[in-house]
Amino acid sequence: MAASGPALPAAAAEPARAASPAVPAVRLVAGFAGFGAGSVNLAIASSIFAAPARPADGIFAVAAALWGTALLAGAIVFLAKDRPAGGRRPQFALAGAAAVHLAAIAFAVPRTSSLNLTQLSALLLTLMIIASLGWLRRAEACRESGRRGGSRTVGQARPGRLLAAAFAGALLVAGIATPGLAASTAGQYAVPHGEHGNLAPADHHHH
């Protein structure tokens, strides 16, 4: 029997399932943490390259450099394209990296103990990425299954709140990454702020 009355569009027949307004902010935090973790891993690679103690150190340095580059590239792609958090492969890779950082701290020897703070920064940033991606996957699953409660139908965050969340996330990532970068070889040899371009002392002209 034909239905009496006009057919409703699919979009109107089912209630809209809006994403949580916190999703954009969490995506920003995950991306910022990816930038921070990538930079810290590159600092670890540069520190190992600067003072290799055995041939195997070169392999570790290359692995850290490749992983840091992958994190930076992944963060750019993640923020540039509005895609879901991804499957379990990134989660496994991040969990493996966190285990490596933890092992590097737990089994540090005198020649690598100077990188403990850098490894700790990388570990915390990696855990931040894991937590953010896990939250995003749960939010996406709730939206798809329609289990999210509440009567809100708008899933967009307000610009002011998003800006505040972005600032807080960037501040948190910087607070974790900066000590780790400073403890690396690159940080130890960095020119202090305010001294870039300064001329050498006047007595350098004297012979």
Q: Which helix (H) or strand (E) holds 84?
A: none
Domain boundaries, the chain: 19-145+158-186
| Strands in 24-168 per DSSP E | none
pLDDT at 81: 82
pLDDT at 88: 75
CA 83/CA 138 separation, integer angstroms: 14
pLDDT at 191: 52
pLDDT at 179: 94
Mean pLDDT by 10 residues, the chain (207 residues): 49 47 88 96 91 76 94 92 72 94 90 88 96 89 66 58 88 95 77 52 46
pLDDT at 195: 56
169, amino acid identity: G
Q: CA nearest 187: which of 89, 43, 53, 61?
A: 43
pLDDT at 173: 95
pLDDT at 199: 44
CA 75/CA 72 separation, integer angstroms: 5
